[in-house]
């Protein structure tokens, strides 16, 4: 493949340090699920682990990969934990998320008793997203039952915010109250870690930080939303971690009126030079940026001409002397021009999370500590 991603581990560390300072005195957990939002699971975790009180993943498989790579900090599995993987999770000290007090709870407890260990779990309460979690009306009793189950160690109780990126705090603060009410109602003898805030809430609403903050998108130097970025003081500086580059493999001259690409959706308004970039939607470039987006060539933004193909994208090279072999910056900067993941998101009508998380694992990733 001609081209790939470059990830700055130095920028990752600087972001992690800044976010840990923001969270203090609460602890900082860094979310590295989904291949570290496209940045590479193992390398990202290794880069930030010195600043991490914990790491969060979605699956047991991700947690085991981190353990096999020598990562020793607490690891929380946020997603469902299949029964057939519980023994491996316990053997490698992964903390799993629990929202069931029936047969599954007994399965976890019996797995722990067979190994002569206790299984560390964190309980999730659904305070408003309506995905996973205990119903708030039943949460206090359920938390009590889980905490009293032999073989279970309750290390945390948490929830997830539905609209923390927005500047209206009413729903966000109501969710925090719901979580705290469930915890208070359980009347526990111990004090499991409470957490509900991710990047946006930790920035906008300090009262949501509780005992720990889960930092995801901000770790990678991307802002949770435009409103969040505008509302934050200048002291918090986040550095984009990822750049994406390729090369031009062909240049063609076309006459005015010539159509370009599938469906002929682009028609040359004048004689033009167009260049072919050997990456397409199979490589993470959204097809929705067709005829809307741009990449940087020779310090100039060059518009995408026609539809993004599976493995190729065509650029309008007007205003450049670009030739085959010249560098193309898909995300990043060159000279005075730049393109960001947020630009891609705007062109595609989505969010920066999706842009980076969908970058395929098959893309070459080079890690730069400079």
pLDDT at residue 17, rounded to an integer: 98
**pLDDT tens track for 224-246:** 998 888 888 777 899 999 999 99
pLDDT at residue 263, rounded to an integer: 98
Domain with CATH 2.40.37.10 in the chain: 242-368
Q: How many Cα neighbours within 13 Å face the side chain of 54? A: 25
Secondary structure (3-state) at 145: helix
Q: Give yes or no for a contact between 124 and 134, defined as CB atoms under 8 angstroms apart.
A: yes
**pLDDT tens track for 87-135:** 999 999 999 999 999 999 999 999 999 999 999 999 999 999 999 999 9
Q: Which one is catalytic: 187, 226, 237, 262? A: 262
Q: Give yes or no for a contact between 357 and 34, defined as CB atoms under 8 angstroms apart.
A: yes
Chain CA centroid to CA 170, Å: 25
Cα Rg for the chain, rounded, in angstroms? Answer: 24
pLDDT at residue 238, rounded to an integer: 96
Catalytic annotation present for 262: yes
> 6: which residues sit within 8 A by CB, 6+ positions away?
242, 243, 244, 245, 332, 365, 366, 367, 368
Q: Which fold has domain 242-368?
A: Lyase, Ornithine Decarboxylase; Chain A, domain 1 (2.40.37)
The CATH number corresponding to 9-230 among 3.20.20.10, 1.10.3430.10, 1.10.10.10, 3.40.50.10440 equals 3.20.20.10
> 140: which residues sit within 8 A by CB, 6+ positions away?
181, 182, 183, 184, 185, 186, 187
pLDDT at residue 166, rounded to an integer: 82
Q: What is the pTM of this model?
A: 0.96
Q: For tokens 């750049």, what's the residue? A: 243
**pLDDT tens track for 56-85:** 999 999 999 999 999 999 999 999 999 999
pLDDT at residue 233, rounded to an integer: 72
Domain with CATH 3.20.20.10 in the chain: 9-230
pLDDT at residue 62, rounded to an integer: 98
Chain CA centroid to CA 216, Å: 5
Q: Which one is catalytic: 33, 124, 220, 353? A: 33
Catalytic annotation present for 33: yes
pLDDT, mean over the chain: 97
Which of 90, 165, 100, 176 shows the shortest CA–CA distance to 132? 100
pLDDT at residue 50, rounded to an integer: 98
């Amino acid at each position: 493949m001609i081209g790939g991603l470059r990830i700055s581990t130095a920028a990752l560390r600087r972001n992690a340090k800044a976010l840990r300072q923001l969270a203090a005195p609460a602890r900082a957990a860094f979310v590295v699920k989904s291949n570290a939002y496209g940045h590479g699971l193992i390398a990202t975790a290794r880069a930030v682990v010195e600043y991490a009180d914990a790491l969060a993943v979605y699956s047991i498989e991700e947690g085991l990969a981190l353990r096999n790579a020598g990562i020793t900090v607490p690891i929380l599995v946020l997603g469902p934990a299949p029964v057939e993987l519980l023994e491996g999770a316990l053997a490698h000290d992964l903390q799993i998320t629990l929202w069931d007090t029936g047969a599954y709870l007994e399965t976890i407890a019996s797995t722990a008793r067979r190994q002569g260990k206790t299984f560390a779990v964190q309980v999730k309460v659904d305070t408003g997203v309506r995905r996973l979690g205990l119903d708030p009306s039943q949460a206090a009793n359920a938390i009590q039952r889980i905490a009293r189950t032999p073989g279970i160690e309750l290390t945390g109780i948490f929830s997830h915010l539905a609209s923390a990126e927005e500047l209206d705090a009413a729903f966000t603060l109501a969710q925090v109250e719901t979580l705290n009410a469930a915890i208070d109602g359980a009347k526990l003898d111990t004090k499991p870690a409470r957490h509900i805030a991710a990047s946006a809430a930790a920035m906008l609403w300090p009262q949501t930080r509780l005992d720990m903050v889960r930092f995801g998108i901000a770790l990678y130097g991307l802002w949770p939303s435009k409103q969040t970025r505008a509302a934050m003081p200048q002291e918090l500086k986040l550095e984009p971690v990822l750049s994406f580059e390729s090369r031009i493999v062909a240049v063609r001259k076309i006459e005015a009126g010539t159509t370009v690409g599938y469906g002929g959706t682009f028609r040359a308004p004048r004689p033009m030079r167009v260049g072919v970039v050997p990456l397409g939607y199979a490589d993470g470039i959204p097809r929705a940026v067709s005829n809307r987006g741009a990449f940087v060539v020779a310090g100039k933004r060059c518009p995408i001409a026609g539809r993004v193909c599976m493995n190729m994208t065509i650029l309008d090279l007007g205003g450049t002397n670009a030739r085959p072999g010249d560098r193309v910056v898909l995300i990043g900067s060159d000279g005075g021009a730049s393109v960001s993941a947020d630009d891609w998101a705007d062109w595609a009508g989505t969010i920066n999370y999706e842009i980076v998380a969908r970058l395929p694992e098959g893309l070459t990733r080079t890690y730069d500590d400079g």
